[in-house]
């Protein structure tokens, strides 16, 4: 789970009561409140330290103490409770006590509306917190309504193009994806680029970061063409910017190459950006060998994924030749070639037999299959055998076909490709009962999917 909620730091100051001469031995209410305020600050420091260390469960105790002391000092309906309640709600959210977090955020909102107004900027944080809990419960439409309100408040108080609204757009994207409205989710991601251009200026590097974020969104959600168009825009910005950062430029070339490679259609469009990246590195006053190694590795992986074994071997050999330029590269290179790495993945179906297009999956039971195989010097899978299959014979043939189509970067030792024996995979899936009863084998080809290096899409909040 991502750290979507940030605590709000606070300190309080209570002016001590002036004690006039001649008055002694009397503890006033102000004196008691001063002691409570000092204790409250102590708990606040403890809470901040624990929360910053991600010890969220331990941070609950001081968070609760802060709320209790604040009520004692300032009253049950004081606006000074807003921050302590927000922090307590955040702590509950981080330990996945979503119902309790939601209750606290609602209490916080009521206090703000009571003490401030219905468009107070302080409402944004608890509204955002409630929306996150609603997303966790799968109540996406309700979350959208709450986030839309937070967004309007942000616009009223901070302007249409303020960057603070970014996290709201991110959570709206998640909510719309949950509600199966990808078009609206895309809008909230692409609008952030527009905000960056308006707020920072169209040529600002911050816009590049927004473009990278948008490309990553398209990549994670499988929108390859849209991802590629963003990489092209980013490349144009970088190529024509004087003194462009070579590492950033190379990363864009690599991403552009990968977007073509995932489709597996056009070899030249896949390798040409990598060749441009190598040219950019070679033009450096002192070429970055680590950067060059990564590009050469990508080049070899791209060739081998298209079945161009000799071209792949040439690129991999160039990787090893970098040791001649810097002996320190040996450990990096040996580590990356120490075991086979899949460069073209084919997914075994998660439900099988596959239903006809448009047909519901229906009732299922759990199934699993385990296979062993070897990877030869050309990255091909060989000697595939089924070790265990339950229920037997349901997905066996399809699973073997899938493993047969996976392409690996083979293991290398001292620049020589080697056979690797004894690789294994275990796959759990859902057995579609209606497909078995109807005698439907569902032998559609599995889709070739180049898996991205990012973590799977969960909550895209930074």
- Closest among 53, 43, 50 to 12, alpha carbons compared: 43
Q: What percent of the chain has pLDDT over 70?
A: 87
Q: What percent of the chain has pLDDT over 90?
A: 79
Count other C-beta atoms under 10 Å from residue 136's C-beta: 17
Fold of 343-437: 3.30.1150
pLDDT of residue 10: 52
Contact 14, 33 (CB under 8 A): yes
pLDDT of residue 381: 97
Contact 333, 320 (CB under 8 A): yes
pLDDT of residue 433: 87
Contact 129, 89 (CB under 8 A): yes
pLDDT of residue 239: 87
Confidence of residue 434 (pLDDT cuts 50, 70, 90): confident
pLDDT of residue 361: 83
- Closest among 401, 445, 451, 448 to 265, alpha carbons compared: 448
Instruction: Break the chain down into helix, strand, coil percent, rounded to 5.
Output: 60, 10, 30
Contact 364, 432 (CB under 8 A): yes
Cα–Cα distance measured from residue 343 to residue 379, given in angstroms and rounded to the nearest whole number = 9
Indicate whether 456 pLDDT > 50: no
Contacts of 393 (CB under 8 A, 6+ apart): none
Cα–Cα distance measured from residue 360 to residue 168, given in angstroms and rounded to the nearest whole number = 34
pLDDT of residue 1: 43
Cα–Cα distance measured from residue 318 to residue 296, given in angstroms and rounded to the nearest whole number = 7
H-only helix segments in 116-161: 124-136, 140-158
CA dihedral 411, 413, 417, 420 (to 10 degrees): -40
pLDDT in tens, 173-220: 999 999 999 999 999 999 999 999 999 999 999 999 999 999 999 999
pLDDT of residue 9: 53
Give the torsion sign (CA, 134, 139, 140, 145).
negative
| Residues 388-397, mean pLDDT to the nearest whole number | 94
pLDDT of residue 357: 78
**Average pLDDT score, the chain:** 88
Indicate whether 7 pLDDT > 80: no
Q: What are the residues facing 380 on neighbouring strands? A: 407
Give the pair of three-digit tokens for residue 426.
């275990």
pLDDT of residue 460: 26
Determine the distance from the C-alpha atom of residue 105 to the mean position of all C-alpha atoms in its chain, rounded to a whole number: 25
Contact 418, 424 (CB under 8 A): no
pLDDT of residue 4: 58
pLDDT in tens, 277-302: 999 999 999 999 999 999 999 999 99
Confidence of residue 6 (pLDDT cuts 50, 70, 90): low
| Residues 222-250, mean pLDDT to the nearest whole number | 91
353: left (phi over 0), alpha (psi -120 to 50) or beta: beta
pLDDT in tens, 131-171: 999 999 999 999 999 999 999 999 999 999 999 999 999 99
pLDDT of residue 241: 82
User: Is it true that the peptide bond before 353 is cis, omega within 30 degrees of 0?
Assistant: yes
pLDDT of residue 457: 29
pLDDT in tens, 335-387: 999 999 999 888 899 999 988 877 888 899 999 999 999 999 999 999 999 99
């Amino acid at each position: 789970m991502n750290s979507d909620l940030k605590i709000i730091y606070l300190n309080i100051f209570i002016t001590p009561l002036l004690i006039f001469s001649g008055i002694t031995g009397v503890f006033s209410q102000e004196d008691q409140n001063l002691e409570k305020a000092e204790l409250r600050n102590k708990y606040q420091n403890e809470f901040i330290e624990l929360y910053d260390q991600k010890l969220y469960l331990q941070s609950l105790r001081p968070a609760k103490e802060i709320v209790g002391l604040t009520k004692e000092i300032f009253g049950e309906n004081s606006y000074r409770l807003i921050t302590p309640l927000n922090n307590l709600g955040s702590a509950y959210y981080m330990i996945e006590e979503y119902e309790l977090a939601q209750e606290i955020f609602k209490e916080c909102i009521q206090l703000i509306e009571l003490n401030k107004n219905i468009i107070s900027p302080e409402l944004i944080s608890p509204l955002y917190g409630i929306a996150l809990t609603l997303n966790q419960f799968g109540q996406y439409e309700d979350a959208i309504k709450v986030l839309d309100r937070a967004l309007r408040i942000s616009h009223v108080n901070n302007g249409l193009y303020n960057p603070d609204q970014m996290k709201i757009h991110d959570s709206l994207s998640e909510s719309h994806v949950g509600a199966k409205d990808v078009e609206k989710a895309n809008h909230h991601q692409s609008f952030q680029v527009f905000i960056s251009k308006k707020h920072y200026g169209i040529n600002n590097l911050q816009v590049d970061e927004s473009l990278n974020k948008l490309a990553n969104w398209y990549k994670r959600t499988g929108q390859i063409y849209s991802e590629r168009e963003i990489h092209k825009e980013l490349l144009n910005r970088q190529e024509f910017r004087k003194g462009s950062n070579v590492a950033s430029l190379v990363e864009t070339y690599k991403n552009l190459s990968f977007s073509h490679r995932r489709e597996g259609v056009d070899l030249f469009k896949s390798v040409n950006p990598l060749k441009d990246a190598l040219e950019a590195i070679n033009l450096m006053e002192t070429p970055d060998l680590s950067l060059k190694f990564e590009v050469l590795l990508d080049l070899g992986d791209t060739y081998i994924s298209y079945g161009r074994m000799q071209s792949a071997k040439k690129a991999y050999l160039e990787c090893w030749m970098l040791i001649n330029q810097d002996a320190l590269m040996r450990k990096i290179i040996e580590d990356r070639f120490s075991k086979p790495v899949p460069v073209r993945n084919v997914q075994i179906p998660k439900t099988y037999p596959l239903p006809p297009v448009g047909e519901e999956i229906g009732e299922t039971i759990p199934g699993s299959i385990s296979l062993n195989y070897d990877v030869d010097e050309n990255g091909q899978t060989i000697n595939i055998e089924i070790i265990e299959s339950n229920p037997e014979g349901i997905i066996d043939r399809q699973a073997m076909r899938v493993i047969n189509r996976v392409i690996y970067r083979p293991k290398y030792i001292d620049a020589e490709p080697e056979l690797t024996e004894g690789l294994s995979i275990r796959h759990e899936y859902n057995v579609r009962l209606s497909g078995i009863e109807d005698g439907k084998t569902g032998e559609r080809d599995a889709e070739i999917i180049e898996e991205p290096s990012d973590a799977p899409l969960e909550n895209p909040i930074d």
